[in-house]
Amino acid sequence: MGSKYTRGCCGWLIVALIAALVATAAMFAIMKRKPGGGSRHLKPLPVPGPPGAIDSKYGDALGVALQFFQVQKSGKLENNQIPWRGDSAVTDGKEAGLDLSKGMYDAGDHIKFTFPMAFTATVLSWSVLEYGDQMSAAKQLDPALDALKWITDFLIAAHPSDNVLYIQVGDPDLDHNCWERPETMTEKRPLTQINKKSPGSDVAAEAAAAMAAASIVFKSTDTKYSDVLLQHAQKLFTFADTYRGLSSESYPKLQDFYNSTDYVDELLWAASWLYHATGDQTYLSYVTVQNGQTFANWGKPTWFSWDDKNPGTQVLLSRLNFFGSKQISNAENEGLKSYRDTAEAVICGLIPDSPQATASRTGGGLIWISGWNSLQHATNAAFLATVYSDYMLSSRTAAVQCSGKYYSPTDIRNFAASQANYILGDNPMKLSYLVGYGSTYPQQVHHRGASIPADAKTGCKGFQYLHSSDPNPNIAMGALVGGPFQNDTFVDLRDNAVQTESSTYNSGTLVGLLSGLVTTSSVVQSFT
């Protein structure tokens, strides 16, 4: 009896000891997987192969988001899929002997601003270049290419000579004095151009970035069109760099709408895209050796937006540091390392439990920087985080270090997914901020065309539809509205443009974000 008990007791002690060891090992493994878990020896994750299974949530949302570009189109529509939209602004540019009818309205009004429109094209191109295979797997590549070309067709037409670019179609004062459908506009639509005497390096360089990036997108399917885009991009960059100045200084009225705070970020952004498009070392030297120290604000993370391209440039150029190139000199590599270090500082500011995490968030976890169009910065930041995490995965980079803590590509991707999920309804309001997605989304988007019945005869003064308490008669499919206040609340009123107005440039990065999350695959090491 005694010996039996002793053997049983020893057996249980052995079992308990093994269980304790297993539990300890499991806890250590969990600590390693937990964001910032303290291990500097995280193992690189496997490199993804071709696109895997489609996440239906993000796939459905991507299909909805892309429809907003159809809603925003100007000109004579082709294969129109939006029943309440029709041809509009078909004579834009006629006074200058140009066809500026294409392009897109920037938001809920009917002005065409080249600056945010070009930014939309740049980030759309970037999205296709990084995630075109994933878009294709989700059957959404063709709508993205269609939207992109509608903008680049406008940009080509808006650049009739080397040192002239049309940067605005329409008069904001006249436009904002009306509430009407674009199809019935009768107001004058004057043109605004930048040139040698009235420069606008910010807009010219952004247009150069857009056309350089788009030239890579179309290179494999339409070589002639790609070549035309690249020629325009190179000439516009030379124009922007030679005749320096802000468009809002040449035309002070622009300060009320798209008041760019600088132009050197656009010069770096454009040169970065031109390097990717051409492989010309001159452009790489421009952003590293020649102007990196002066223009790039290395070590000072900021927020990616239509105004500030620095974070985008930092992430874009970090791919050269991740994947390398034999043609890059030591001095250029030093500059690229500084871009990557700053990109990592951006990423460290986004991960919620990082020691460097920004406190600029809502209680629901959304990055929140500004009350007007609050979703802009969250969407842009999440897009950059997705791209950066995929660079890490594809280069077998195990982790980023944030003040002594280590974070894996999965941790970074989880942050990006949290922002996307918030947008799609996982928020305190239980509201999808993407119009047309889910069962509950804003009904009073601040959008002229959506708010007025298609058969209404309003003339210029259809303001009864702006102030109506009824839901919009037309759904602005894919519109990403401005977003919540910092306390996670949202007031769905058409008069509340701060929260309910949407914009094409928000949609550009949203498409990139959703395309990155819809499935996983390895990113290409070179765009060309």
Dihedral over alpha carbons 148, 116, 392, 301 (to 10 degrees): 170
Q: What letter would DSSP give residue 286?
A: I
Q: Which helix (H) or strand (E) holds 175?
A: helix 172-176
Closest CA to 124 of 504, 419, 463, 427: 504
Residue 301: what residue type?
A: P
The three-class DSSP label of residue 485 is coil
Q: Quick one: which of 44, 41, 38 has its CA closest to 405?
A: 38
| Pairing mode of beta strands 191-194, 165-169 | antiparallel
Provide Rg for the chain, Cα atoms: 25
Give 138's Cβ-side CA count (13 Å radius).
32
Which residue is catalytic, options 41, 446, 447, 467?
Answer: 446
Sign of CA dihedral 280, 286, 287, 290: positive
* Alpha-carbon gap, residue 340 to 349, rounded angstroms: 14
In sequence order, the β-bridge partners of residue 192 are 168
Tokens read off for 46: 């496997």
Beta strands in 392-511 (DSSP E): 400-402, 405-407
> 402 with 356: CB under 8 angstroms?
yes
Residues 6+ apart with CB under 8 A from 218: 149, 225, 226, 229
Comparing C-alpha atoms, which of 58, 48, 54 is closest to residue 432?
58
DSSP code string of 143-154 = HHHHHHHHHHHH
Give the CA angle between residues 208, 211, 213 to the nearest 5°. 105
Q: What is the token pair recorded at 513?
A: 């974000």
In one-letter notation, the amino acid at residue 30 is I
Tokens of 466: 């702006």
Sort residue 261 into left (φ over 0), alpha (ψ -120 to 50) or beta: alpha
Q: Are 479 and 505 in contact (CB under 8 A)?
A: no
Active site residue 446: yes
Packing angle between helix 201-218 and helix 114-137, nearest 10 degrees? 20
Residues 132, 413, 127: CA angle, nearest 5 degrees: 20
CB-based burial label for 9 (10 Å; 0-12, 13-18, 19+): exposed
Residue 263 · residue 201 · CB < 8 Å: yes
The residues carrying an active-site annotation are 446
